[in-house]
Structure 1
Amino acid sequence: MFTCANAFSQNRNSFPQEKGPYITVRGSVIDIETLEPIPRVNIEITGGDYTTTGADGEFRIRARIDDELVIRSADFETRYYTIKDNQRIRVEVQSLSNEEDIFEEEEIQGNSQQSFEGFLQIARDEYKKDVSKGIDHIASALEVKGISESERATAYELLADINTYGKQYDLAISNYKSSLKSVYDIAVDIKLAKAYFNNKNYQESISLYQSLLQKTISFEQNLEVIEGLGDSYKMTKEYEKAIEQYKKAERITSDSSIVSIATRLNTKIAECYDGMGNSQKAISSYNKALDLSNQESSESAARSKVNTADYYNRTQQFDEEIKLRKEVLEDIDNVVTDSISNDDVLTSQKQNYKIASAYANQRKFEEAIPFFEKSINEAADKNDLVIEKDATRRLSELHRDQGNFDKAAESYERYKSLVDEEYQRKEQEVYKAVRLGKDIAEKQARIRSLEKDRELNEKKYQLAFKEQELRETSDRNQQLIIGSLIVLAISLLITAFAMYRSSKRQKYANNLLALKGLRSQMNPHFIFNALNSVNSFIAINDERTANKYLSDFSSLMRAVLENSEEDFIPLSSEIELIKKYTMLEHFRFKDKFDYTLTVDENLKVDEFKIPPMLLQPYVENAVWHGMRYKEEKGLLHIHFSQKDKDTAVITVTDDGVGRERSKAMKTDNQKKQKSKGMGNIKKRIAILNEMYGDRVDVAITDVFENGEGTKVTLTLKKN
């Protein structure tokens, strides 16, 4: 019994702790290319407050430490930021319009016998079973020769609908825009506004809904636009504007006797009042929605009851909540179809779980236990692992609180197995999602390629038509035109050649810029740790040692800065740099390792050149990730030799714990940190080899068969 109780105590301690107090976070969003502020950007705390940037790009939002800040707009990729303190945040973004996606063209074997409508019909029939197949059939439809702009608009609209079904709202936005580009349609524009909303681009959604209200649209479309605008205002916490739109929608539906719509609107009005903290008006609107829902037995009425029950739960009116949820269970049996997914609130396992939770909150354990058990059984039958897991945990806690430790332990063991099962299932879902995303990306690339081919073919057709007209003119005009075409072709070739040379020069310039940036990045860990070492010497009044260390460190930094503009330096200079660096590391960690640095006497160090500070990250890795974790004192050996007249070989060998064990011994915090040293080396070597030929090669191996020790072999070629 005591063991069981201790297990529950540990389990409870593993649950998330209460977050700290709210702070005000200030920041700005800036275009990285123009340095201009970006207004009307959606700023949101996940599960918390929402705001937008002003005309000056500035924003202010309430948050807590460790909250996730989301910066979202249709004009750039969504950015995420974890709040660490109340310092100002400067978010630099790059406009998507300045980036060009490059896709590899995929060879397509289309069925020329199948019609455009045939492909679209297959896509409509299959996409709910297999999203990627649906997209594939749309690509085949777009391959059919001679389709009209109207047909192309229909294909892109269906493609966007499939994206929406798969919750890929960013792709849906792009494809709805492509459809509207071919043929404008009010219905598609409304879908685009909804896609903006689903993608949390609330400002874009509001702007589009407002523009749609100025157009001539049908009654149903007008109702959808008004309600959609209210939903967008509600998500941006502009509750008064949202209520205004919902009441406007309610007024235009009052004569049509659409009870389900009126019920839904009053529920949303109640949620707005609840968000404003006006509990009196909130419960009044909830009651109105309930009265309307009693006029019909529908899924909409059941959802209204669920929303009201959730409100009773938040306000701790548990008796009212239980009563409503029991009515919802009856509605589920009568009106809710089997097509409702486990994610939906209208499932019997969820409602039984919430009834049990309400009883538990009232300390009515005997009444709660049967509902938890019923929720577990129903969740197991419907393969709802989340509810089954949560209900099992709560049931275990109730048995524990009643002192029935045997049943508590039994339920707890079942809960642990469900947690493992849920983890495995999520791993599988993530794997499937990654594969599906890759498959869909390839098919989207195919569609983009088809669109480019279509534009090219249209240009070819126009050119052929003009040539036909030219052939019907007089011989003199024909010769003049042919001559003009020849001149044009030569001009195009010259232009293409000039662009090719310009592209090569630009690539070379980009490589130089990249190298300059990479050379400027010396590992900050060494710099910070070196300064901390000086600080520690000063703290213990060891001024002489601090001055000596700082002098050596300054000498190394001076040498690094002197070589920072060079792609290659003499090998002799690099040897001096690595001697100074290794001496400083040994000075700090004398108790951790000894080292030797040897240079073969036949090595002609002045005939070979090497990128500056190329060896430093490998030596740092040997010290920090190899020998630092070793219990006994380690040995680092750096050796410079000459293989032949054109090849020099440098080896950095340590007898540390090895790469695999070093990874395993890292703390969680160390695993989260991402060293840039090795990445910079790979980038520098790749760029230099591209610019100057393959002059540098690196190989990393284990020293011993048990995986301990690391050997880095670096090969240099003469230019």
Structure 2
Amino acid sequence: MRTFFIAVILFCNFDIQAQPNKAHLSELHHFTIADSLIQLKKFDQASATLRNILNKGKAAHDKVTMAKAYSLIGNIFLMQRNPDKALQNYFLSLDEYQAANDPAGLAKVYTNVGTVYSILKELPKAREYYLKALSSNKTENLDRLKTTVNLAGVYAELKEKKLAVNTFNKGISLARKLNNLPLEAVLRTNLSNYFIEEKDWNSAILNARNSLAIRSGLKQPASVITLNNLGYALVQTKQYKEGINCYDTALKSANPQERKQLYFNLYHAHKSLANLPKALKYLEQYDTVKDSLSKLNYEQKVAEITANYESLKKQGRINNLEHENIRQKKQLRQQLFLIIAGVLIILLVSVLIYLRVKNYSIKEALEKSQIKRQLLLLQLNPHFIFNALQSVQRFIYLKDQEQSMEYLNSFSKLIRLTLENSDKDLIALDEEIEILDNYLHLQQLNHHPGFTYEINVNPNIETENIEIPVMLLQPFVENAVVHGLKDHQNGKIRIVIKQKSDGIHIFIMDNGPGADFTGEHANNKMHRSMATDILNQRILEFNREKTNYVTLRVGTQQDIDYPGTAVHLHIAI
């Protein structure tokens, strides 16, 4: 299960020290108005008010006022999901606070900067700024508590276990000292996430129950994330009924993203109980929500691109008018300059046309190469899908409901992964391993005589961070199953993945009779069974873009357990 840590976003409210003069009272009044407008999400009015305050601060050389205005403007941009401009204003605020030697103000803005980097998943930078905030704010107050809550979540996501547990406990202790039960509930929920990651189910259950109890005492609604965590930990300890009740309760107030995770967890819970109809029902609901979220995300991206395009067009028109105005003024001042400018413009246009034609030719060549590669991928997929559908048809014909369900589940996962990555050139190594595992499991269910397989991955390899060419390994694995183990009793397939200084090395071996790699039969079997021409073209396409990116060797290995065909793929990273 993918866990989520609740981040407490600290949009700092700036208390202005009231001074016995009208200027500071006016300043307090305008900041209060700006803060109210932000809360009402009237961002344009709030920005205008803050720009006015900022200009007055600049005129009066009041660095603290300028720092507060910049920070609130940063808050507006962050709420509008514009992290780049938010950071820009936060750093301007930091400059002014440093010049004013205001550690309390620095601590608040450091926390906001850390929050932005946490949202962007730049976790080392988030940790750096949260630590700066704690260093600047030594007082045990609400700001320090909120910073501690976020820092604990960052430590947990960075897998810094001792620091995470220590910071969680410090946060809980401070929350109790400040009698801040809502933030203690958040800390307990995040701590349950941490223990789920560590597979410490009892500790996860304890902290989730404590969080829910605190919220109940405060007469607050139960957190969907907390209920999901509790349900997941209970299911892992075989407490299925209570765990499923937690999921069902969470569904009542869950947003679409949370429903997606809950449906997926309910699917696994009912599958563990062998309640296949309900498992299938929740799997279908999970797919529906996932497709809906994908469509929504696509529509949002289209809207953002359209808005950016319109904005660029408007700015382009303004720039063109300004350039035209400047050019006309220069023409009136000096006729000679017009002649020279005309010659320069002609030369410039000629160069631009030449560069445009050249760039177009290069772009066209790249697009053709890309299309060819995608066509090659499409040639690989239909063969496997045809065979898989035949297998499904056989199970249904035999009326083997359990085998049909298991086969369809693995087949749907494999097809989904394949379709999701069909338009990509590269795939994460862990996803490719999942594809191979599902494929071999499908073949294992349907292959006669049976066979065993193992996939050994060096534990030091960060499979989620390494990308390899998509669908490059499956044809070789298919060859091992279909041809290497044909009519072979006690067939075995072994896949070994290692990482060396020169890249990733992948070995695919079987204990079949092996292929004849000498004489006139050198490539006959491999050419028929694996469409070697297509694979070689794919490898050639990748090697055109990056020299020696993929290297293939096919032969036999001097191994008693795996004396058959051995495929060795080297992928440079």
TM-score, normalized by length of structure 1? 0.35
Structure whose CA Rg is larger: 1
Which structure has more helix as a fraction of its residues? 2
TM-score, normalized by length of structure 2? 0.43
